[in-house]
């Protein structure tokens, strides 16, 4: 696969049937934001609202993410947001390894085209897939890793913060550090 831009890649995966989720999705959720973003967020998989609209992080978790972006002075339209899976798993169950395997090359191509300075994994599933298999979100959130030439970190998934608001202070601290790092690197957001 060699694509010259995100539109070409999006068109390529629009009718994807590489896994069973192709049969149950309403809309494929490709990703959204600035194609030249310095900062990229990668979540787990679309939920109900994302499946209906075709846009990542627009439901309750997405609205909470928006609040953190606002709090640290990051403009959502300057970043790029995508997920490990492009289609919603039924009842929002965790992605199956076979679904991740079927989908992950699309994300790899997206990252190659965007070339962000920083990648932020939203939650454990994304961090375990992209940073390391045994990633422990409670211990390792906010820690910096370098992988494949990208600077990466993970924060709590906003849906997890809705379930357990005690993590909200940690989330704010992590987001502040991400913004600081981006500024240090001369990135825009």
Interface residues with ligand URA (CB under 6 A) are 43-47, 50, 56-57, 59, 61-62, 83, 122, 159
Separation of alpha carbons 130 and 141, rounded Å: 13
Name which of 62 and 142 has its Cβ closer to ligand URA. 62
Q: CB of 71: closest distance to ligand URA in angstroms?
A: 19
Name which of 63 and 180 has its Cβ closer to ligand URA. 63
Helix 60-71 vs helix 168-184: crossing angle, to nearest 10:
50
Closest by alpha carbon to 179, among 75, 26, 57, 82?
Answer: 75
Name which of 21 and 122 has its Cβ closer to ligand URA. 122
Q: CB of 122: closest distance to ligand URA in angstroms?
A: 6
Q: What angle do CA 78, 80, 85 make, to 5 degrees?
A: 165
Q: CB of 123: closest distance to ligand URA in angstroms?
A: 6
Q: CB of 29: closest distance to ligand URA in angstroms?
A: 6
Closest residue to ligand URA using C-beta atoms: 43
Sign of CA dihedral 79, 98, 150, 162: positive
Q: CB of 85: closest distance to ligand URA in angstroms?
A: 8
Separation of alpha carbons 9 and 101, rounded Å: 17
Name which of 146 and 164 has its Cβ closer to ligand URA. 164
Name which of 61 and 178 has its Cβ closer to ligand URA. 61
Tell me how crowded residue 164 is: count the other CB atoms within 10 A of its CB. 9
Separation of alpha carbons 171 and 34, rounded Å: 23
């Amino acid at each position: 696969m060699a694509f010259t831009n995100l539109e070409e890649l999006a068109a390529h995966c629009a009718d994807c049937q590489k896994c069973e989720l192709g049969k149950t999705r309403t809309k494929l959720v490709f990703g959204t934001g600035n194609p030249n973003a310095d900062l990229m967020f990668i979540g787990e998989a679309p939920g109900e609202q994302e499946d209906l609209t075709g846009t990542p992080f627009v439901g309750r978790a997405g609205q909470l993410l928006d609040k953190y972006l606002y709090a640290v002075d990051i403009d959502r339209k300057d970043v790029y947001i995508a997920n490990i899976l492009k289609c919603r798993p039924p009842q929002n169950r965790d992605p199956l390894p076979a679904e991740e395997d079927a989908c992950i090359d699309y994300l790899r191509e997206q990252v190659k085209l965007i070339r962000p300075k920083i990648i932020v994994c939203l939650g454990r599933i994304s961090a375990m897939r992209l940073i390391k298999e045994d990633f422990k979100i409670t211990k390792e959130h906010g820690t910096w890793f370098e992988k494949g030439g990208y600077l990466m970190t993970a924060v709590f998934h906003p849906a997890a913060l809705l379930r357990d608001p005690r993590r909200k202070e940690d989330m704010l601290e992590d987001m502040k550090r991400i913004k600081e790092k981006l500024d240090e690197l001369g990135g825009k957001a």
